[in-house]
Structure 1
């Protein structure tokens, strides 16, 4: 089990404030999305061979915004419940451990888009998203012992990550794990 690592964990003040908890991942996700130039990202996405069931590009923004908000809400609930004065020392330790995992998963999440679309490294992006699923599965388990609602808030996120992993690996495979210059051929 990992432990609480204060130097890499978001400050408790972020988790304690519901607005900060919800808006921080949304703002960071939006910033990363815009840093990879949305029009270039969309053009690259449409130029790549895609696996079946791929959604249109406009779906990703609203879905990720909702998921970022939900994960932020879950983090607020879990940390508020787990660090309450009535919480046992074991619950406090578990909550702090979960806060470190949450911060790690947020970093992994934010790294995917620059890996995939920024530097066009589909192998590394797929490894990143597989690690992201693992960390989130474990985080869901950890926080289920602190606040059951928080754990359930991660269910849609885990489902979407499974689908996103399929898309990431599918695009990588169908394009021979290369995205050189974005000149991959669009599927017919």
Structure 2
């Protein structure tokens, strides 16, 4: 079990407000999405070799909006309900440990798009999404068994999508020889050697 680290954990007021818990990850995810220029991202996405079952680019925005909202509500339920003084020490500890894990996973989640589309580093992005998958699988288990079953179940679609995202990230990296640079950048890199 991880440790509760206040300095690495979102402020308590976010977890204690359902609106803040839901809107915070949606707002951050939207900001990161727009910072990577969606029109360029869609164009880049379609220009790379892709594994089978890749969805069209337009599907990611709506799916991630729902997933961010759902994970935010799960965090609200787990931390707000789990840290109630009516609970025993083990439930409160599990809720607080989960709050730290949730914060860490949110940071990793927000780093994926700049890694993959901004820096075009599919290997690092795949490592990032694998870490996300592991952390969130554990978080769903922790919250679902030690704090609030509903909170754990609310993370299941997110964990499933992360599994699919891992497949897409690794597949795209592999099929493109782990190099997503534009052809002119690749040619310039070869000339420099």
Q: Shorter-normalised TM-score: what interval?
A: over 0.9
Distance 1:84 1:164 in 2: 35
Q: Tell me the TM-score normalized by structure 1.
A: 0.96
Q: Which moved more, 1:81-90 or 1:8-17?
A: 81-90
1:107-161 Cα offsets, whole Å, 9 max, x none, are 1100000000000000000000000000001111110110000000000001100
**Contact 1:129/1:165 (8 A) holds in 2:** yes
Could you report, residue by residue, the CA deviation over 1:53-98 in whole angstroms, capped at 9, with x for unpaired residues? 0000000000000000000000000012111120111111111000
The yes-or-no answer on 1:169 pairing with 2:170 is yes
Name 2:135's counterpart in structure 1: 135
Give TM-score, length-normalised by structure 2: 0.93
Contact 1:44 1:182 survives alignment (8 Å): no
Pairwise CA RMSD of aligned residues?
A: 1.2
Gaps of 5+ in 1: none
Counterpart CA distance in 1 for 2:88 and 2:13 is 20
SS, match of residue 155 in structure 2: helix
Paired with 2:181 and 2:54, the residues of 1 have a C-alpha distance of 21
Distance 1:172 1:35 in 2: 22
The answer to whether residue 46 in structure 2 is matched with residue 46 in structure 1 is yes
The structure showing larger relative contact order (alpha-carbon pairs under 8 Å, at least 6 residues apart) is: 1
Match of 1:61 in 2: 61
Unaligned runs of 5+ in 2: 186-193
1:181 Cα deviation after fit: 2.0
- Decide which structure has the larger Cα Rg and report it: 2
CA–CA separation in structure 1 for the residues paired with 2:90 and 2:65: 33
Asked if structure 2 preserves the Cα contact closer than 8 Å seen for 1:123 and 1:177, the reply is yes
**Preserved contact between residue 48 and residue 182 of structure 1 (Cα < 8 Å):** no
Q: 1:183, CA displacement in angstroms? A: 6.7
> Which residue pairs with 1:160 in the alignment?
161
| Counterparts of 1:162 and 1:113, CA distance in 2 | 16
- How many residues are paired up? 184
Counterpart for residue 84 of structure 1: 84
Q: Which residue of 2 aligns with 1:97?
A: 97
CA distance in 2, matches of 1:180, 1:117: 10
